């Protein structure tokens, strides 16, 4: 996977955040879309790499700090 993620500078951090979020929020299904291999067209609202989406809503464009991401998830998930 390292070879694929080197094309996008922020991908390694996005993968790390997704792994931490999956542990911290087990009720949320995490899906990482690899643009090098994904065959399905992306939704129109995906305009940056990475994009964090929850239930069709963009939470963040680019990489937030883990504190920022988890604060936002906490707001949305309650």
Rounded distance, CA 72 to CA 7, Å? Answer: 27
List C-alpha distances in Å: 72 to 4, 19, 29, 39. 28, 16, 16, 29
Q: What tens-digit pLDDT sequence spans the chain (78 residues)?
A: 344 444 566 788 888 999 999 999 999 888 888 777 877 788 888 888 888 998 888 999 989 999 999 999 999 987
Q: What's this model's pTM, rounded to 2 decimal places?
A: 0.75
Would you list the domain boundaries of the chain? 2-77
Q: Which residues on adjacent β-strands are paired with residue 60?
A: 52
């Amino acid at each position: 996977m390292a070879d694929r993620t080197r094309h996008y500078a922020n991908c390694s951090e996005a993968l790390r955040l997704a792994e931490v979020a999956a542990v911290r929020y087990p009720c949320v299904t995490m899906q990482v879309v690899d643009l090098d291999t994904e065959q399905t067209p992306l939704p129109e609202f995906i305009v940056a790499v990475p994009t964090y989406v929850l239930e069709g809503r963009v939470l963040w464009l680019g990489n937030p700090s883990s504190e920022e991401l988890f604060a936002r998830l906490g707001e949305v998930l309650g």
